[in-house]
Structure 1
Amino acid sequence: MNSAPQAHGPSPDSDAESKEYLRKIERLANFFISGKFGSSADLWNFQIELMELQRKIQDSIAAEKERIRRSKVKSDRLQNLKYARYSARRLGDSFAWILLGGDSKVINPLGENSPVPIGKEGHGSRGLVAVSSHLANEGWGFPVIHDITDLLRIGDVTFLQPGSGEGVRTVELKTRHLGDDNDIGGSSHYEVSVNFMAHKDDPVIELSADIEKRSSDERIGATADETPKPPRRDDRRIARQAKRMARALTRQRAQDGEVSTIDGEDFITAVISPSPLSHWKDLRRAIREARANGYSSMLVDKAFLYAAFYDASGLEEGSFQNSQFIEDVTSSGLVRSRVNERNSLQIYSIPEGETRRPQQYLPYFLYSIPKRAVFDLLRGRLQIIVVANAGHIADALEDAGFDVTIPKDSESPIHSIEISAQVEHEGVGYRFRTDTVGHRVLDCVYGVKGIDYLLKAAQKMKETIPPLIKDKNAGGE
């Protein structure tokens, strides 16, 4: 195996502050996944509350790092706080996932950037909230604030207009504090200039906003100034942001199976419909058995072994040293494929924990499992370990008619798999090749979809290749 299973959750003796943060995350998650919201205002208040909670967690992390720096004494507290931060951001991902319809064509292009840290509350964040609310009232649609997610890393807010036919609209905001803060009648007034960057099809809006924070109810309002002062700009930074947004929009608007171009490179988007087979029932059974016995496993398509570990008092690293788990992996036939040189076991964990890359697959908060199981995952009482073999995945792809190559000495063979095939269109031959199989494997693992989804995705990409120019090496998305 490429690594040993690790616990991704709070330590069983977690500190009181971290436990309180997880309790608040669970309360928000329960509200959201239970569908207890009755209006768009409820959804808006949910994300504002989640944003405030994430900032508090980040403040606690900063304070703990300072304590460690001063005292030179480490503890599990910092890791517990980071796990709370991860969980809060993953809940934000779940919120965005649902509102954006789980549409990878919309979601994935907005993640092609470095991780965005949780910012402190200030004039910029107040301007973001106030202006998003203002534009929503002006008919732009419901605003999804990117700051509550790790998944959306390009732009600051995406407006949704369900049923309007206009789809989504992502904008970037740059806020600059213009003047002194004033306390007038018990209210604090902040004068800021907000510059909007949107696609050329949308009006470019520049306005100064008077941000009013009322101490009585902490509501924030904004009014536009008719003669705004032009904000200062870092031209290179603006150019990079504009380029990222343009790339994202091009990918979002690309038609299925048609050639599109970004920076001189041709690409084709292959939209894969959901897998017709569901393995949620099997996973629910494995979770029930784990709650009763501490452990259970299930094999999916001879390619993925799901092992559920449960401990009511909280899982630890030693919880995964389970002899039955090792026996299940070896007896399942998972460790041996047709070509010995391709055998390589990869371990995945649900929840996964913090990573630098965006986790562009179904968040566990949205799993088709009982809410109690979701909260067990959150609290570190339940964890699911998934074991996959690159060799079995390669076998399945070859059986489907693809040539498969796994680069030697790859640190992650599964995510380095390349497939190719000869295709013909209108009497012209093409060579299809792609190295994006690894991304689809993550969909299989974290979406509990099975190997049939992977094969369907590969076949779909192969079928969309002929429109590309004959002498180009074709890639798939």
Structure 2
Amino acid sequence: MTSVTNTFAPTPDSDAESRKYLRKIDHLASYLLGGKYDSSADLWNFQIELMELQRKIQESISAEKNRSRRSRGNSTKLRNLKYARYSSRRLGDAFAWLLLGGESRLINPLGENDPVPIGKESHGSRGLMAVSSYLANEGWGFPVIHDITDLLRIGDVTFLQPGQGGGIRTVELKTRHLGSDGEVDGSLQYEVSVNFLAHKDDPAIELSAEIGTKSANVSGDVGAVEPPSLPKRDDRRIARQTKRMARALTRQRARDGEVSTIDGEETLTAIVSPSVEPHWKTLRRIIRKARVDGYSSALVDKAFLYIAFYDASGVKEESFQNSKMIDDVTSSGLIESRVSSRNSIQVYSIPEGETRRPQQYLPYFLYSIPKKAVLDLLHGRLSILVLANAGHIADALEDCGFDVSIPVDTESPIHSIEISAEVEFEGERYRFRTDTVASRVLDCVYGIKGVDHLLNTAQKMKETVPPFMRDRPRGEE
């Protein structure tokens, strides 16, 4: 097994500025997780405070980049500042996850875009916050600001309607600065266009016109509210954004077993209910033991080895070379699947750290572990690794009736697993095939769900296929 490290945690001797930011994130996390808010105004202020913190961290990162570039040296401080930025965005993800009820059918479609950088305060951000607050007061629901998250990358704000039967509406806001009002001391004038997808009889269209959009053109049953008052150079960008929002809305509204056309391709939706209990008891147990001994591990479903390291002064590099861990990996049977050629250990770190892809699984801030343990993860006093073996995952899938294929010499066997199975429908046999196992494995790892969640997901996908075959040529996959 190769050397194991956690490159995403802050260094134990981190600089004062990075520690200051982590303490602020700690404060905000404690406020959110402790349920110390009493009203929607408190949650709105939480977003504002988190956004301001993220901007300060980004300013510090830019300054440190310039300093380290001049000195031509590696900057440990830069690494720690980036970790603080990641942690603040992951806290924003946790906030959005809570308010959206952890529903992947609502969350995931809004992440299918490139990462959105943290921007400085600008006319656009001021217009966004002002209009979001205004629309909330007009009954649109509570506004979740996408900029504080890494998870929500399509649109600027999503409004949540409370109560049973409540829905969501994602909007894109475009702001034009019209100048200052000389008669009102310090005031600024903005024109803000609200762009969203709506049914033709949606009352929100009339309201959007009242706050700055000169007209609202809706084509067909569902259309985009166009902002004709914006400059022509914005037309293509708005068209792209509208297309992304339309794609996200189609995915959000898709029903279980329903075929939707997205970007010209037929897409089958299989909604998997959380029928498998996560292994929180196991995780809490090894955390308690690690707090006493500095290290603990536990095997789950033969395929995953959970490992916890603890050091009150910060988990150090040498902690990951613990000889007990090597013994546990060997004695646990993790590396002994039925087909030896498929044995391959993949190491996952919690927290994961920054990635270009959206982290569409439970943020560690929301783990069902003591709040103290969550904050230990934030500060690097606790580190969790999950070791997974592609061979055992393949064994479990085969035991569930799937054929498993892993490409030879692939860099990441777990993330290259393909599964297939025969499906019978109306007297004909078809072959179901998917290569989406990788994303489900990440959900198992970071959602602490184990192999059963993966098996349930794969089985649900296979069961959803037969109705999809009704109008397709015989023999087609």
TM-score with structure 1 setting the length: 0.92
Partner of 2:146: 146
1:194–1:206 CA contact under 8 A, matched in 2: no
C-alpha distance 43-150 of structure 1, shift in aligned 2 (>3 A):
same
The 3 A distance-change label for structure 1 pair 60 and 206 is farther
Is 2:195 aligned against 1:197? yes
Please tell me whether the aligned partners of residues 191 and 212 of structure 2 are also in contact (alpha carbons under 8 angstroms).
no
How big is the shift at 1:316? 2.2
Aligned equivalents of 2:3 and 2:435: distance in 1? 23
User: Unpaired segments of 5 or more residues in structure 2?
Assistant: 216-226
* Mapping 1:13-24, distance limit 5 Å: 13-24=13-24
Deviations 1:360-404 (A, max 9, x none): 000000000001100000000101010000110000000000011
Q: Distance in 2 between matches of 1:250 and 1:410?
A: 34
Measure how far apart 1:342 and its partner are: 1.1
Structure 1 position 2, deviation (Å): 6.8
Q: Which residue of 2 aligns with 1:239?
A: 239
Counterpart code for 2:231: R
Structure 1 segment 122-201 matched on structure 2, within 5 A: 122-163=122-163, 165-179=165-179, 181-182=180-181, 187-201=185-199
Aligned partners of 2:192 and 2:213 also within 8 Å: no
- Give the deviation of 1:411 after TM superposition: 1.7
SS at match of 2:192: strand
Residues 194-273 of structure 1: pairs in structure 2 closer than 5 A: 194-201=192-199, 202=202, 203-204=204-205, 230-233=229-232, 234-273=234-273
Q: 5+ residue gaps in structure 1?
A: 210-222
Q: 1:74 & 1:207 partners in 2: Cα distance?
A: 50
5 Å-filtered alignment, 1:12-411, equals 12-163=12-163, 165-179=165-179, 181-182=180-181, 187-201=185-199, 202=202, 203-204=204-205, 230-233=229-232, 234-411=234-411
SS at match of 1:440: helix
- 2:290–2:296 CA contact under 8 A, matched in 1: yes
Between 224-233 and 22-31, the greater mean CA deviation after superposition: 224-233
Give me the whole-angstrom Cα distance separating, in 2, the residues matched to 1:208 and 1:263: 29
Are 2:193 and 2:212, in contact at CA under 8 Å, matched by a contact in 1? no
Q: Could you tell me how far 1:240 is from its partner in structure 2?
A: 1.3
In the other structure, the counterpart of 1:217 is none
Q: Which residue of 1 aligns with 2:220?
A: none
Q: What are the Cα deviations for residues 411-440 of structure 1, in whole angstroms up to 9, with x where unaligned?
A: 211111111111112223221111111111
CA spacing shift, 1:397–1:207, aligned 2, 3 Å: closer
Counterpart contact for 1:5–1:385, Cα < 8 Å: no
- TM-score, structure 2 as length reference: 0.92
1:453 aligns to what? Answer: 453
Map of 1:417-432 to 2, 5 A cutoff? 417-432=417-432
| Separation in structure 2 between the aligned mates of residue 89 and residue 409 of structure 1, nearest angstrom | 35
Amino acid at match of 1:199: L
Aligned-residue CA RMSD (Å):
2.1
| Counterpart-to-counterpart distance in 1, 2:190 and 2:20 | 35
Q: Structure 1, residues 258-295: CA drift from partner, whole Å, max 9, x if none?
A: 11111221111111111333411111110011010110
Report deviation, 1:225. Answer: 8.8
Residues 143, 157 of structure 1: 8 Å contact kept: yes
Shift of 1:235: 2.4
Q: Secondary structure at the match of 1:354?
A: coil
CA contact (8 A) 1:141 1:160 kept: yes
Q: Which has the higher contact order (CA 8 A, sep 6+)?
A: 1
Identity of aligned residues (%): 70
Q: What number of residue pairs does the alignment pair up? A: 460
| In 1: Cα distance, 2:182 partner to 2:23 partner | 36
Distance of 2:464 and 2:251 partners within structure 1: 16
2:197 counterpart SS class: coil
Partner of 2:218: none
TM-superposed deviation, 1:93: 0.2
Task: Find the aligned partners of 1:160 and 1:329 in 2 and give their Cα distance.
Answer: 46
- The answer to whether the 8 A contact 1:9-1:379 is kept is yes
What code does the residue aligned with 1:336 have? E
Q: Is the 8 A contact 2:338 2:391 kept in 1?
A: yes
